[in-house]
Amino acid sequence: MNIAVVGSGYVGLVAGACFAELGHDVILVDNDPQKIAMLKKGECPIHEKFLPELLHRHRGKRLDFTDDLLVAVRRSQAIFIAVGTPPKEDGDADLSYVESVASEIAGAIDSYKIIVEKSTVPVYTSSWITKIMLLNGAPAELFNVASNPEFLREGSAVTDFLYPDRIVIGADTDSCAKILEQIYKPMANGSYYARPDAIPGPATAPFKARIICTSAQSAELIKHASNAFLAMKISFINAVACVCEAVGAHVGQVCEGIGSDSRIGPRFLHPGIGYGGSCFPKDLLAFRTAARENGYQFGLLDEIVRVNEEQRIHFLRKVRKALWTLKGKKLAVLGLAFKNGTDDVRESPAIAIIKALMKEGCSIIAYDPAAMERAAEQLGPQNVTFAAGPYQAMEGADACLILTEWEDFSALDLKRIKKALRYPIVVDGRNLFKPADMAAAGLNYYSIGRPDVIGERPTPQPKPEWREIIGPEAQAA
């Protein structure tokens, strides 16, 4: 099938490359000539596993790039809108880019097309796109609008696309839904996964992607509700971690106990410095605004946001606890991206914490395997020094702060860390290390929801006095 994808950000670029991987002919549209030139040369503008391989595999074959939307629309049966929807000051999503694209598509339509929302948008956006296209002269019989939300995690976006938990198709006509089902057929019937050159994914048995067909409005709500629920799990376990610290419990043990319940599950029960990125913060605000505009005060969403913001303040208190005073301190920061596996620093908790520390008079030397260039744009090279590696960042620093959960950091040599630092202090916002290992290495270690470790003397942990009695002992008891 001939497909156009409008927008070459995270969603658009991954979707375009993966549609080509499924066997479709894809034209990716962007109004930035420099980005188009970069893509045509084979350069990948974002750090994402498997994406460079897909671009190399399909560029100039099944995947082309252009800044001419009219040509792309007329060549395609399906047009996916994947432009940005940044938050406005009131928290509502800015849909001006979506509206602009819809207006241009309306002027280019010369045969039946389906227009598909791929961006994360509020409920009723599909109805507004229909209205905009009709107002701009598109004949009603030549198009249908559908919602096909993405559920991609940065760092694993390609495998999330190709090995999804579900594919949500929100369409109000059978003809529109059938075209979308045809697009995803290689995943739904399992034929893609039988290919010898298929991108490897998490599925271990013969895999078939599940398609869920809904109305367009339901599909739009599924996306926002899913992200809100995941953000709620993160804020919940961060709040539990604070309680653990207050009572002397170990949050890792609590997470194991909670996550073993099949109704809850272990995923997203990882305490840290809070969520960030381009999705959760924006989507929660947009979902809250949409609820309010339709007469419902969704107070739970307010609390999720509040707990997330409080977690960063809580981490700063830990740094003060470890160092007593902050003014004049030299701090090594490991991790700038909002999560591992990506160079994205949008709404990164690490960036927010660094800015707060600089206001306190700290000097920062930072390292991240992928995100230093993007972080420099937000922090300014005159304010933060960027190191060539983690040990260089720690050399002579008063403490080391772990702010992103890169696997490389968890494999660092603890003795070398102690030798590099001026004071043997590590404040871990991602719980990458085992307290016992840090104690053995002679490091003062502060983490989230776990007792502090002071050198070789870990703070005593309460031990359970009970045990389960079974067999003859139980009868005697």
Q: Where in the chain is the domain with CATH 3.40.50.720?
A: 2-214, 307-458
The strand pair at 78-81 and 143-147 is best described as: unpaired
The confidence score (pLDDT) of residue 381 equals 65
**Residues in the chain where the model's pLDDT stays below 50:** 457-460, 464-477
Nearest to 372, CA basis, from 326, 321, 335, 413: 335
d(CA 476, CA 37): 80
Q: Where in the chain is the domain with CATH 1.10.1040.10?
A: 224-301
d(CA 331, CA 362): 7
The confidence score (pLDDT) of residue 123 equals 79
The confidence score (pLDDT) of residue 80 equals 97
Q: Which amino acid is located at 349 in the chain?
A: P
The confidence score (pLDDT) of residue 90 equals 74
* Residues noted as catalytic: 279
Instruction: Tell me if the domain spanning 2-214 has CATH number 3.30.70.120.
Output: no
Q: Which CATH architecture has domain 307-458?
A: 3-Layer(aba) Sandwich (3.40)
Nearest to 403, CA basis, from 431, 383, 377, 374: 431
Please identify, in words, the CATH class of the domain defined by 224-301.
mainly alpha
Q: Are the C-beta atoms of residues 82 and 9 closer than 8 Å to each other?
A: yes
The confidence score (pLDDT) of residue 462 equals 54
Question: Which conformational region is residue 146 in: left (phi greater than 0), alpha (psi within -120 to 50 degrees), or beta?
Answer: beta
The confidence score (pLDDT) of residue 314 equals 96
